[in-house]
């Protein structure tokens, strides 16, 4: 009867080893509790039962009793150890695993238990065997069947899978999925099976919240198996930790899934369904969708629209969902009024999406916001939409349909009507005529609809008289009111043209209209150049300096651009001359307060040549008269470089009455020189007198126009053999009365 003693020694040795292991755990990081002794005791007991006779049963029972006592002692010791480190263990948080090389996850092979008794002695690697048995017990709540145990044991021993894959096989099995587990029950199993401990309250609450965002339970198990605790558990059984690959879009980025879940909960008042979550999160992950697409997709889904929210409820929901706050009373009233005036829910939603608050919301979730798209005409200009709605209600006495609004606002956006034409279209239409209103009611409708006020009793009497004097024709009165300054000033801010073409003054500003369009920017009209300043809604710039496109311009009291400011700014210490070679004119620039040449002073008509050099030069010399190619003479010459100069149009001699009129002067403004840059005599003299030696000259071979216009030019008759701009020859013009 020595065999029972051998068993006692084996059990004692096991207790000693486990005690040593516990002591080591207390000195280092405490690994998860492992109930190895219970599994081994059961296995050895079953083996002894098969091999011993009935006479040995009593001794074996004594051994088992002693072994159980030892096991209980070990359990108590481990419990004390756990108690001592409990706060440290509970404070640990599950870390999200770093992605490593992907492992193939085997299909679950979990059949129903065939027998309560399995011979585990045949498994050479008892650690692996016990790890599999543990998962059956902790996850499925039962003992393993022999086929299942063989399957998972062989997979682990042959290194086909790792610990994480085994967990995934059990958690993903139909047997486990078919368990009607609550969130709390599921998490209890995850903590016990994977972390080998009971859940701490905060951790359980956190993971419950994560599940509420719509991730799968597989996502939770993947996070758990990536923890240090599971790593220690696997190490205790001498197997590799591994990881779980996640394939569903909703599991790939928790923050994105939380964003989508936010809209499910706020817009649809429910948890997201699996397909919906995967579709929305997939679009965000691939960046084929933006935050704007998500907001629009939920708010304009059939499910949301079928709620039938009124304007007040709809706006409040937008505040809560898109701005993440409660609506303030002023904002709520404004948006509900806009909806009442005819814009669509898309218009209001788009304006909420354009807010900084929604931008911040998307940024907080790491999502590209995107921009809303406005497609309906009624949503493109609120003032126009509000106007059309107002006219319908006060002239036709009904609210417009969305099709009416889109038609009218589309035509207004295309500038098909002036203010007068719009009024005539409503009041002269068949729908209004069919009402057969009295003259008095017509006058009241006219004032309320167009002037937005009730007529006084005196005005009613005056207008009735006007109708009677016109032979009971209402059209003259309609024209008078619709062409009034009062009516036009009401419609002007809405983008409705007061006139079809020309200048229009309103509230001290002047605007220009071309084919019912208000002009913005530079305008050439009446032989002058004007700037209709977009900063001032297109009002004409007048009276003083204004920076436009980086240049400093001066405008007179009529709004005309002054293109020679030499008399305004006076002589300058420094100028820069830019020649637009292909344009055949030049502009002189002066320095601004910062020392930059941003003030165009005057433009000069030129004739360049194909041989005229391009680039930057500094003037080295000047000559009052200088002989040119072929023996002709040039006045007021300023050297540019080498043989190339600025000079007047050539003369036959140094007599200013011998100008080459037809051959050279009349070609100014065209490419006609041999390489020098010809000027009118007056411009050549101004440059000679005002631009010091060393003045920078830049000849541009590509650009053909600058901030000032090319000067106008009038050719001379052949008998006019002097330059009319030459101050030394002007007396000749006076004698002939020509200039």
CA–CA gap between residue 646 and residue 612 (Å, rounded):
11
Query: Rg of the Cα trace of the chain?
Result: 47
In the predicted model, what is the mean pLDDT of residues 647-654?
A: 97
Helices (H), ranges, 226-273: 228-236, 254-263
**Contacts within 8 Å (CB) and 24+ apart, 503-510:** 503/540, 509/536, 509/537, 509/539, 509/540, 510/539, 510/540, 510/542, 510/559
Same domain membership, residue 584 and residue 731 = yes
* CA–CA dist 190, 202 (Å, integer): 15
Judge whether 456 lies within some domain: yes
**pLDDT mean over 665-686:** 97
Q: What's the whole-number mean pLDDT along residues 131-155?
A: 96
pLDDT surpasses 60 at 173: yes
Instruction: Identify the pLDDT of residue 35.
Output: 33
**Does the structure show a pLDDT above 50 at 529?**
yes
CA distance 18 to 430: 101
Strand 502-506 with 509-514, pairing: antiparallel
Mean pLDDT of the chain: 87
Are 362 and 401 part of one and the same domain? Answer: no
Of 202, 223, 247, the residue that ends a domain is 247
At residue 584's C-alpha, the angle toward residues 580 and 586, to 5°, is 50
Alpha carbon 689 to its chain's center: 57
* Locus of tokens 């045949």: 122
Counting residues of the chain whose pLDDT is more than 90, the rounded percentage is: 83
Cα separations (Å) of 138 from 134, 141, 188, 237? 6, 6, 10, 16
Note whether 232 and 288 are same-domain residues.
no
- How confident is the model at residue 116, as a pLDDT? 55
Is residue 596 within 8 Å of 716, Cβ to Cβ?
Answer: no
pLDDT at 70: 41
Question: What is the per-residue pLDDT across 380-430, written as a single tens digit (0 to 9) for each?
Answer: 999 999 999 999 999 999 999 999 999 999 999 999 999 999 999 999 999
Report yes or no: 398 and 431 within 8 Å, Cβ to Cβ.
no
What is the DSSP code string of 513-535?
EETTEE--EEEEETTEEEEEEGG
Q: What CATH number has the domain bearing residue 304?
A: 1.10.3130.20
SS3 66: helix
Q: How many CB atoms lie within 10 A of CB 105?
A: 18
Q: Could you tell me the pTM of the whole model?
A: 0.70
∠ at Cα 395 (390, 401), nearest 5°?
Answer: 60
Residues 570 and 719 in one domain: yes
Q: Which residues contact 270 (CB under 8 A, 6 or more apart)?
A: 264
- The answer as to whether 30 is a domain residue is yes
pLDDT of residue 118: 83
pLDDT value of residue 6: 30
**Torsion sign, CA atoms 116, 117, 123, 127:** positive
Whether 151 sits among the annotated catalytic residues: the reply is no
596 shares a domain with 483: no
Q: Is the pLDDT confidence value at 721 over 50?
A: yes
Domain boundary among 44, 69, 91: 91
Rounded Cα distance, 142 and 148, in Å? 12
Cα separation, 511 vs 532, whole angstroms: 7
In a domain, 11, yes or no: yes
| Residue range 269-307, pLDDT digits in tens | 999 999 999 999 999 999 999 999 999 999 999 999 999
Catalytic residue, candidates 362, 608, 676, 691: 676
Residue 543 lies in a domain: no
Cα dist. 324→356, 362, 572 in Å?
Answer: 12, 12, 60
Sign of the CA dihedral 163, 168, 174, 178? positive
Between 97-106, 205-214, 544-553, 656-665, the lowest mean confidence (pLDDT) is in 97-106
* Residues 68, 5 within the same domain: yes
Q: Predicted confidence band at 52 (pLDDT cuts at 50, 70, 90)?
A: very low
Query: Reduced to 3 states, what is the DSSP secondary structure of residue 50?
Result: helix
467 and 605 housed in the same domain? no
Q: Which of 175, 202, 230 is nearest to 34 (CA)?
A: 230
Same domain, 419 and 445: yes
User: 446: helix, coil or strand?
Assistant: helix
Instruction: Please classify residue 184 by burial: count the beta carbons closer than 10 Å to its beta carbon, then call 0-12 exposed, 13-18 middle and 19+ buried.
Output: exposed
What is the rounded average pLDDT of the residues 47-52? 37
pLDDT surpassing 90 at residue 328? yes
In Å, how far are 549, 565, 698 from 668, measured between CA atoms? 29, 23, 20
- Three-state secondary structure call for residue 331: helix
Q: What does the block give as tokens for 432?
A: 């209004």
d(CA 681, CA 648): 5
In a domain, 187, yes or no: yes
470-488 pLDDT, tens digit per residue, is 999 999 999 999 999 999 9
Q: Which of 647, 691, 720, 738 is catalytic?
A: 647
Q: Is 346 a catalytic residue?
A: no
With contact defined as beta carbons under 8 Å apart, do 293 and 283 qualify? yes
- CA 312 → CA 294, 331, 336, 430, 553, distances in Å? 22, 11, 6, 36, 51
Cα separation, 173 vs 140, in Å, equals: 10
Give, for 161, the enclosing helix (H) or strand (E). none
d(CA 709, CA 529): 9
What span, in angstroms and rounded, lies between the C-alpha atoms of 529 and 546? 14
Decide if 551 is inside a domain: no
Do 283 and 388 reside in the same domain of the chain? no
Q: Let me know whether 140 and 210 are in one domain.
A: yes
Give the end of a domain, one of 490, 525, 556: 490
- Residue partners of 177: CB distance under 8 A and separation at least 6: none
Angle at 525 between CA 523 and CA 527, to 5 degrees: 120
Is the per-residue pLDDT at 114 higher than 80? no
Residues 439 and 586 in one domain: no
Mean local confidence (pLDDT), 20-24: 33
Looking at the structure, tell me whether residues 592 and 720 fall in a common domain: yes
Q: What is the pLDDT of residues 562-586, one digit of tens each?
A: 999 999 999 999 999 999 999 999 9
Domain range holding 700? Answer: 566-736
Domains in the chain, number: 5
Rounded mean pLDDT, 422-442: 96
CATH number, domain with residue 621: 2.40.440.10
**Can you give the pLDDT at residue 25?**
32
């Amino acid at each position: 009867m020595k065999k029972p003693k051998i068993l006692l020694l084996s059990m004692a040795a096991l207790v000693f080893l486990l005690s040593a292991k516990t002591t080591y755990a207390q000195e280092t990081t405490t690994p998860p509790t492992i109930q190895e002794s219970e599994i081994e005791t059961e296995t050895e007991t079953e083996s002894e039962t098969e091999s011993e006779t009935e006479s040995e049963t009593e001794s074996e029972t004594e051994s088992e009793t002693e072994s159980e006592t030892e096991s209980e002692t070990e359990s108590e010791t481990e419990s004390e150890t756990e108690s001592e480190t409990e706060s440290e263990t509970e404070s640990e948080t599950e870390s999200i695993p770093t992605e490593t090389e992907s492992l193939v996850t085997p299909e679950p092979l979990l059949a129903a238990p065939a027998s309560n008794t399995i011979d585990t002695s045949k498994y050479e690697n008892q650690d692996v065997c016990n790890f599999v048995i543990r998962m059956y017990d902790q996850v499925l709540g039962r003992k393993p069947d022999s086929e299942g145990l063989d399957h998972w044991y062989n997979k682990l021993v042959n290194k086909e899978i790792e610990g994480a894959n085994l967990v995934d096989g059990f958690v993903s099995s139909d047997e486990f999925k078919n368990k009607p587990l609550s969130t709390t029950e599921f998490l209890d199993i995850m903590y016990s099976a994977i972390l080998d401990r009971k859940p701490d309250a905060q951790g359980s609450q956190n993971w419950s919240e994560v599940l509420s965002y719509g991730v799968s339970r597989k996502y939770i198990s993947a996070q758990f198996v990536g923890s240090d605790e599971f790593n220690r558990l696997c190490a205790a059984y001498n197997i590799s930790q591994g990881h779980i690959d996640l394939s569903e879009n909703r599991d790939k980025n928790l923050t994105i899934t939380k964003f989508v879940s936010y809209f499910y909960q706020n817009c649809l008042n429910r948890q997201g369904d699996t397909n919906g979550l995967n579709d929305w999160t997939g679009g965000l992950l691939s960046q084929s969708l933006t935050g704007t697409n998500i907001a629009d997709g939920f708010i304009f889904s059939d499910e949301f629209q079928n709620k039938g929210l009124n304007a007040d409820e709809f706006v409040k929901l937008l505040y809560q969902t898109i701005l993440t706050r409660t609506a303030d009373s002023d904002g709520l009233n404004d948006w509900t009024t806009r909806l009442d005036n005819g814009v669509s829910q898309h218009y209001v939603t788009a304006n909420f999406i354009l807010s900084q608050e929604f931008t911040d919301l998307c940024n907080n979730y790491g999502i590209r916001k995107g921009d809303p798209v406005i497609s309906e005409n009624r949503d493109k200009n609120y003032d126009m939409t509000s106007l059309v709605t107002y006219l319908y209600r006060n002239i036709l006495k009904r609210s417009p349909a969305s099709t009416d609004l889109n038609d009218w606002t589309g035509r207004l956006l295309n500038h098909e009507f002036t203010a007068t034409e719009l009024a005539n279209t409503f009041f002269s239409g068949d729908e209004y005529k069919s009402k057969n209103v009295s003259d008095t009611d017509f006058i009241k409708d006219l004032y309320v609809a167009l002037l937005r006020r009730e007529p006084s009793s005196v005005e009613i009497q005056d207008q009735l008289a006007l109708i009677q004097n016109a032979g009971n024709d209402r059209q003259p009165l309609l024209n008078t009111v619709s062409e009034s300054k009062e009516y036009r000033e009401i419609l002007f801010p809405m983008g409705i043209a007061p006139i079809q073409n020309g200048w229009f003054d309103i509230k001290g500003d002047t605007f220009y209209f071309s084919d019912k369009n208000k002009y913005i920017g530079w305008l050439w009209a009446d032989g002058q150049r004007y700037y209709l300043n977009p900063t001032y809604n297109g009002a004409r710039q007048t009276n003083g300096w204004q920076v436009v496109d980086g240049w400093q311009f001066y405008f007179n009291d009529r709004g005309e651009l002054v293109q020679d400011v030499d008399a305004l700014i006076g002589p300058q210490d420094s100028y820069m001359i830019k020649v637009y070679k292909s344009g055949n004119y030049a502009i002189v620039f002066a320095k601004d307060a910062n020392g930059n040449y941003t003030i165009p002073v005057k433009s000069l008509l030129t004739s360049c040549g194909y041989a005229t050099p391009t680039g930057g030069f500094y003037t080295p010399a000047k000559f009052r008269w200088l002989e040119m190619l072929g023996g002709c003479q040039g006045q007021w010459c300023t050297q540019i470089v080498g043989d190339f100069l600025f000079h007047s149009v050539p003369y036959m001699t140094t007599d200013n009455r011998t100008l080459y009129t037809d051959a050279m002067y009349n070609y100014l403004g065209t490419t006609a020189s041999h390489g020098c840059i010809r000027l009118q005599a007056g411009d050549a003299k101004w440059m000679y007198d005002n631009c010091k030696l060393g003045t920078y000259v830049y000849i541009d071979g590509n650009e053909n126009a600058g901030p000032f216009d090319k000067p106008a030019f009038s050719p001379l008759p052949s008998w006019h053999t002097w330059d009319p701009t030459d101050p030394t020859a002007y007396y000749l013009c006076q004698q002939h009365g020509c200039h």
